[in-house]
Amino acid sequence: MKVKQISIFLENKQGHLLEVVDALAKAKINIRALSIADTSEFGILRIIVPDPEAAKKALKKGGFTFNENDIIAVGVSDTPGGLAKALAVLSEEGINVEYLYAFVSKAEEKAVVVLKTDKLESSIKTLKKAGISIIPPKEVYSL
Amino acid sequence: MIWDQKAECMPHKEREELQLERLKRIVKYAYDNVPFYKKRFKEAKVKPEHIQGLKDIQKLPFTEKADLREGYPFGMFAVPRKDIVEVHTSSGTTGKPVVAGYTRNDIDLWSEAMARALTMAGTSRDEIIQNCYGYGLFTGGLGVHYGAQRIGATVVPISAGQTKRQIQIMVDFGTTILTSTPSYALYLAESAEEEGLSKRVKLKAGVFGAEMWTERMREELEKRFRLHALNIYGLTEIIGPGVAQECMEKSGLHIAEDLFFPEVVSPDNLEPLAEGEKGELVITTLTREGMPMIRFRTKDLTSLTRGKCKCGRTLVKMSRITGRSDDMLKIRGVIVFPSSIEKALLAVKGVEPHYQIIITRPHHLDEIEVQVEVSQKMFSDEVRRIEETRKNIEDSIEAEIGLRVKVTLVEPKSLPRSEGKAKRVIDKRAL
């Protein structure tokens, strides 16, 4: 149930984000979801793409520093309190959320929340038990 | 393997006799043939006949790079220009170049010294040497070339640059010995990995020099290329590479002291230091014809250790150069050697030796920024972890040099890669 996410190091310099996005565009890779974590000195671009292998190849060719990580994609109802419920069950289990970001799927009336926690496996179990829908990788890639 | 069993393994006492005999001869020769020495000796009130024992060398005045510059271009030659068959200039890492002249005998001497050095690294006629030192005025390229030719090994005189082609040739020719600067070797290793050709590189040994490097870099090179990474030392003023070379014991460089007489002196008062004490290396060429050097201050910091090496050589060993008495940085009054920063940097897991030190003085106070390229191993999708690594590097440097520096992470390959000597320090202070 884990989704592959690719994280890329970005130096805080003009045009660096463009270079990455451009490299992916040239390789005809569509970005499904993205977020940027930034500090005053550098940033981390996190993306979800339909074909992580192709994206890695393009990034390697471009000479970027990146890695691949597992994340969970959770579907929460696009209503107030949707996200709060998911976070509450994780918190009860003592699971820390490292970061998250969200996007809205075109197909469903649902918000998709991308989650990285310190315990991915038990997060999946906990969320499932609480009846929160976890979106399988295939679906995420084709959203 | 030992190239010149007699010269390299001679009992210490016997060698001292040889050194004294040669010293007497070269001092007189320099005095008689180079006006500079005659003048200097007179000023110091010494005469060649004052040399009765090896210790008497301490009576002689030092020679410095500035003296060679003053004599530019041919003022230090001891023979008519027509007897000089080749000239080289120093690579000019520290100011204007100096000119070195070689007679045919000097080229022969150099070839021998380099044949000894390359043999120490396991070079025989069976090996293929890929020589990435620059050919031309820089002594690196031709020095290695002469030594390899003397041995009869196959030389690939490729010089630096064209990295992809270097790797292709390394694989296709089955290169076994690599000669280059350590930073360029690392760059080659990196590129070989990128090309997916690492596994097909068959290097046995690397003879690395012309710039300072560290034990950590040795580990890195040995791991990446699966070779013996050995240190070579030399300088244009003395002859070029081949003054000293590390054997497979990797515990210091054997100085060819029957040819190049070493002393270590205190950089502060120029007083001779005892064995094992770290100071500035001073060299006297014992047999050089074209341009004899008497007590040349190399400004390189090292220490000497005597004793028979496991390799069988009795030649004195000098420790890896850890700095230069003239390139030490003074930061807020504290002496800092760039090599200490490198050492600290590489002590942090996952950090690769691609860095640059930038010194500024924004508000009347020196600041050091160390830019470090983010390696795959250091990178994480979590800001917290990257920050942790960055802080670890800062802590490690502070523990080593006693100053807090600012570490900035930069994208891989964004710092300039050198094909010769790496430019590690950018001093932007307007002093």
Question: Does B383 sit within 8 Å of A37, measured CB to CB?
Answer: yes
- A125: Cα separation from own chain's centroid: 19
Min distance A16 CA to chain B CA atoms (Å) = 9
Which helix (DSSP H) or strand (DSSP E) does residue B224 occupy?
helix B215-225
Say whether pLDDT at A69 is over 70: yes
Phi, psi angle pair for B326, to nearest 5°: -110, -5
Question: What is the arithmetic mean of pLDDT over B247-260?
Answer: 97
B254 pLDDT band, cuts 50/70/90, is very high
pLDDT at B170: 97
Share of chain A above pLDDT 70, in %: 97
pLDDT beyond 90 at B149? yes
Using a 10 angstrom Cβ sphere, with 0-12 exposed, 13-18 middle and 19 or more buried, the burial of residue A87 is: middle
Name all domains of chain B by residue range, CATH numbers in brackets. 1-325 (3.40.50.12780), 329-427 (3.30.300.30)
Helix (H, G, I), strand (E, B) or coil at B37: helix
- Name every chain B residue with its beta carbon within 8 A of the beta carbon of A16: 411
pLDDT of res. B328: 72
Q: How far is A103 from chain B (nearest CA, A)?
A: 19
Residue B93 scores a pLDDT above 90: no
Between A44, A67, A99, which is nearest B376 by CB?
A67
| pLDDT classification of B281: cutoffs 50, 70, 90 | very high
Taking only the tens place, the pLDDT of each residue in B283-342 is 999 999 999 999 999 999 999 999 889 999 999 999 999 888 877 777 877 778 888 888
Mean pLDDT along residues B32-60: 97
Residue of B nearest to A10 (CA): B411
Name all domains of chain A by residue range, CATH numbers in brackets: 3-69 (3.30.2130.10), 70-141 (3.30.2130.10)
Query: Sorting pLDDT into bands at 50, 70 and 90, what band is A63?
Result: confident
Q: Is A104 on the interface with B (CB under 8 A)?
A: no
Sort out which chain A residues have CB atoms less than 8 A from B413's CB and list them. 63
Question: What is the C-alpha end-to-end distance of chain B, expressed in Å?
Answer: 51
Which residue, among B356, B408, B410, B411, would best test binding to A if mutated, counting the most A CBs under 10 Å from its CB?
B411
Rounded to whole angstroms, the Cα distance separating B88 from B110 reads 13
Q: What is the pLDDT of residue B92?
A: 54
Work out the mean pLDDT of chain B and round it to a whole number. Answer: 92
Amino acid present at B17: E
The CA distance from B341 to the nearest CA of chain A, in Å, is 21
Between CA A29 and CA A31, with CA A30 as vertex, the angle to 5 degrees is 115
Each residue's pLDDT tens digit, B410-419: 988 778 776 6
pLDDT digit string, tens, across residues B161-212: 899 999 999 999 999 999 999 988 998 998 999 889 999 999 999 999 988 7
Mean pLDDT for A52-67 is: 91
Q: Shortest Cα distance from A11 to chain B (angstroms)?
A: 6
pLDDT at B91 over 70: no
Q: Are the Cβ atoms of B374 and A9 closer than 8 angstroms?
A: yes
Q: Per-residue pLDDT averaged across B81-103, rounded?
A: 84
Whole-complex ipTM: 0.83
Select from B217, B73, B245, B1 the least CA-distant residue to B144.
Answer: B245
At A81 the pLDDT is 80
